[in-house]
Amino acid sequence: MSEAAITLDDLTLAYDRRPAVQHVSGVFPCGSLTAIVGPNGAGKSTLLKGIVGLIRPSRGRVTCASGRAQIAYLPQQAEIDRSFPIMVGDAVAAGAWRRIGVMRAIGPDIRGQVQDALSAVGLEGFARRPVGSLSAGQFQRVLFARLLLQDASIILLDEPFNAVDQRTTADLLRLVRHWHGEQRTIIAVLHDYEQVRAHFPTTLLLARRLLEWGPTANVMTPANLHRMRGMSEDWEEAGFCLPEAHR
């Protein structure tokens, strides 16, 4: 297999000193397309945040071969204020942050890239519309356009198809496959098992600890999924529920 894009080494992530992800080790190879699957409270979002660097590991470490600047991260939609008064084009241009920073002007080249990105996600001519007027699906397309502007070699998606209509999901999945074809490394937190089986060659099964990590057909077996559900029931019986990132 090709070289490692991201390496997790005994990674433990905690909120308020209570561990949400424990002792995860493994490698995301360059160009891999991985789904992260697990029950509620399994630490899936936490793991993504740990990889991006939004949460500092309390043990172990994350190594990113090309540096964190090469990671683009799509948070859950619930964390973004959709009524915010901003134009679609400006929201997409934010993807160029690493190039424009605080001061540099948004020139015609970036404007052009914004147009291209909007057409790529099926929102041609939406640049001058306010974000507040979009549906949930259209808003998710805007966030994908922003990812396009980031032009990163590693892309992390946190529940990208939640609360999104079927057509949008299909369009955006096509975009994800396109990225995969361009040899980008993609990691997505997903709930829909059918989607995972159909589109994601590799799956990481997480229940605070790493249960399985490998080819989707070997990982998404009834036995493994049953084991995963059993673990989440154990936490609920133990009565201590950890904060999931989006709560």
SS3 of residue 230 by DSSP = helix
Question: DSSP characters for 101-125?
Answer: TTT----HHHHHHHHHHHHHTT-TT
Task: Kindly indicate which of the ranges 6-14, 82-90, 159-167, 175-183 contains the residues binding other proteins, using the contact rule CB under 8 A.
Answer: 82-90
Residue 86 interacting with other proteins (CB under 8 A) = yes
Residue 79 interacting with other proteins (CB under 8 A) = yes
Residues 113-142: x where in contact with other proteins by CB under 8 A, - otherwise, as a string: -----------------x-x----------
How are beta strands 33-37 and 18-29 bridged, if at all?
A: unpaired
Nearer to other proteins, 1 or 103 (CB): 103
Nearest to 208 by CA among 9, 20, 15, 16: 20
89: part of which helix (H) or strand (E)?
Answer: helix 88-93
Nearest to 156 by CA among 25, 85, 64: 64
Nearest to 109 by CA among 149, 154, 71, 155: 149
Residue 84 interacting with other proteins (CB under 8 A) = yes
Select the residue interacting with other proteins from 68, 167, 174, 197 (CB under 8 A). Answer: 68
Select the residue interacting with other proteins from 2, 25, 40, 53 (CB under 8 A). Answer: 53
In the complex, the residues that contact other proteins under the rule CB under 8 A are: 52-54, 68-69, 71-73, 75, 79-81, 84-87, 90-91, 94, 97-98, 100, 102-103, 130, 132, 146, 150
